[in-house]
Structure 1
């Protein structure tokens, strides 16, 4: 993404305009955020489908990539954002995406997005550990992973490609070696954690700018180190190079030409395509199909988004709204307009013939917590990294002057309360489709921490040890150990389970001994 620090923060006039718009819309936003009755917040009669008539069998099992980038999801969840399914029930967002036929997850990876003192830089705090967890959760639902390695400690985009702190003094050859080693380590860690890597991006929006280097020939030498690491790790993983703004067609053709001159070994030429900035779908098709056919590369959209409202959920202001100037708002700012924009992006790639492989929607769930104050939102941005930046990022990025939130919440595919919009249904209308992996279920009793099918003192011992940090519970153990359903495992659960085992029945024990269902891949 051409991230907020380059699209907004370097343009102070736009910040002021966005924040002013945010204040003007505060009343209507508050009404939306505090509504308790469930209905799908955005309805749309737009239901056009897209079929990739020719699709390479070697890519994604012969199925178009229906992808989303939810890199910020762990920080968002930690801050308290909750997601729901189409029926209004609270649900794991990965399950919601699975139910809407999303088959690929994109995740950005930064080297050391923190100050070394326990404070993350924000933007999801996307270190390798975070990518591992996102990859693990995606694999549970049969989703492949596009690992977007940015080779920076924070946002990398056309205007900013700052080297990681520990690489700052490296000469070209040393930097090349570090890129190889880092790439290998990232892929190893994610794979060992259970992620199913299908593609790797070597760099993010590298418009003749990468890891501090601005000479395209030297950039290709650095690219080659990352590419070799991927090939050495697993030759079945696709390698992508990513550039922004296909409206500048001559620039795209030049990037592809130089990479070909340098005999760069890669598979996918990827574009950011935000229609309010980056031209028409017809131009996108023309530019990418020309590159794909000329150099025998697959092509795709690595990032796209469009607003469904001009309201704002977290008091930070929006990158794009009805008040934006100097942009092309060719679609209505509505759920229907958002659905049409995403469908057109898929159609543009499908029109690239056998070279087009799919589309990723950027940060469709990047929300603030509904119904809390501005000061609480700001605390979340610093504490959890759930906004675009924490105040601690200022040591690395000079454009960070304070913590900031999400300027893309009005472009999400979920409303401000975490309910899916009908524009999320676009993914269900992209063809051809293969059978989705079956999600199997198993049951376990509340209080049965040892998994033996009954409740006993051994379960209580496990619970006590977890509370005093002598052992760590896995996800299932945590769920059945939270016998009072307060989303915590603590002394209160110990007291309730002890009373139950001692036949001292009372209030708060309704769940103990009842079945809880778990999904298994």
Structure 2
């Protein structure tokens, strides 16, 4: 029988557990649920406002409307050179990104910094090195290492401790072109590995930049390596096999990040994603996140793409279903290694198609009736993470 003291201790323990609720998934590892909000400050500075339709169209901050998220993803460009009226936008540069990071960090969100190592967009179609950086390999690697260290120290000095850092964005074809370009589908394995040699030097330099920052007191973030087409197992096997064979140790990254878009090929199915992520988890035993995804709520006309999961409706309901399905895939990854998902740019009111041929994949209805002012009215899908 329990003594009175034991009974009191047991009651106290139960009260604590019930107050905290169930443990986060999996075990004590938090499941990251995030939105990329890189463009939000541009919209807000331009006068955009956001209405929460679930709260009688109350004007609210976007982060208050996007209930259920615990992570904010922000992209960082080096020296943005987007021209306007004889000048240049300070778009996604360090000053701009720090302002957003401070705002969200103070509210308790994980900050996920997405380095683009470019003055502009970096993705499989374009990975051009910053114009002011050296054009030979050794000086370029040195500059990259210093840049990573310096920027991480700058966030820390601003009072922002980063949870996740992606050293490059969608690196399928490498980074810092032309020196760091790679071709992952070269058939001959020896030639493919040799093709990764410059990239391996550059990636290692970036990774050493993280260590340099940590050595002077910056809290170490989890380091991510991010490529696109998470559903493509051949790409993952070729790419990471060549990277490690070219000299990059598996210890140089903590997390795999993959993009998963339904627009760019009907092979981008949930089944293929599951097979690919399972294989990566079994081989490398590291956490895996789907760090970019979206689904359209409007997609019609002659240019509408064939979606990879046609059973998912094109609607706000379909957006919720798609993200829940990806979360289910992640939670089926062996050993609890599927640990996060990010929806890309849900509040970008003047870019509703988000690079696809669909009319809208964001989580708001954009009202331009009082142009140039714009109002975003939230769709039910804005609350998608409350269901995961």
Does 2:376 align with 1:426? Answer: no
The equivalent residue for 1:360 is: 342
Does 2:242 align with 1:258? Answer: yes
Deviation of 1:280 (Å) = 1.2
* Partner SS state of residue 418, structure 1: strand
* Partner SS state of residue 410, structure 1: coil
| CA spacing shift, 1:358–1:54, aligned 2, 3 Å | same
Deviation of 1:204 (Å) = 0.5
Cα deviations by residue, 1:138-193 (Å, 9 ceiling, x for unpaired)? 112200111001100000110110010101x4211111111111111221222222
Instruction: Indicate which of 342, 348, 351 corresponds to 2:323.
Output: 342
* Partner SS state of residue 424, structure 1: helix
Larger Rg: 1
Does 2:259 align with 1:272? Answer: yes
Instruction: Indicate which of 159, 180, 187 corresponds to 2:152.
Output: 187
Which blocks of at least 5 consecutive residues in structure 1 are unaligned? 1-50, 311-319, 369-386, 389-403, 431-521
The equivalent residue for 1:300 is: 289
Does 2:69 align with 1:119? Answer: no
* Partner SS state of residue 253, structure 2: coil
Which blocks of at least 5 consecutive residues in structure 2 are unaligned? 1-21, 182-194, 367-374
Deviation of 1:289 (Å) = 2.1
* Partner SS state of residue 106, structure 1: strand
Instruction: Report the Cα distance in structure 1 between the residues aligned to 2:238 and 2:25, rounded to whole angstroms.
Output: 27
* Partner SS state of residue 166, structure 1: coil
* Partner SS state of residue 196, structure 1: coil
Instruction: Indicate which of 64, 75, 96 corresponds to 1:95.
Output: 64
- TM-score norm. by structure 1 comes to 0.59
The equivalent residue for 1:6 is: none
The equivalent residue for 1:282 is: 271
Does 2:196 align with 1:196? Answer: no
Across the two proteins, how many residue pairs are aligned to each other? 329
Does 2:92 align with 1:105? Answer: no
* Partner SS state of residue 360, structure 2: helix
Deviation of 1:95 (Å) = 2.6
Instruction: Report the Cα distance in structure 1 between the residues aligned to 2:282 and 2:40, rounded to whole angstroms.
Output: 36
* Partner SS state of residue 256, structure 1: helix
| CA spacing shift, 1:408–1:52, aligned 2, 3 Å | farther
Deviation of 1:128 (Å) = 0.6
The equivalent residue for 1:28 is: none
Instruction: Report the Cα distance in structure 2 between the residues aligned to 1:292 and 1:176, rounded to whole angstroms.
Output: 30
Does 2:136 align with 1:154? Answer: no
* Partner SS state of residue 277, structure 1: coil
Q: Residues 180 and 225 of structure 1 are in contact (CA less than 8 Å); yes or no, is this contact kept in structure 2?
A: yes
What's the Cα RMSD here? 2.7
Q: Residues 309 and 321 of structure 1 are in contact (CA less than 8 Å); yes or no, is this contact kept in structure 2?
A: no
The equivalent residue for 1:176 is: 141
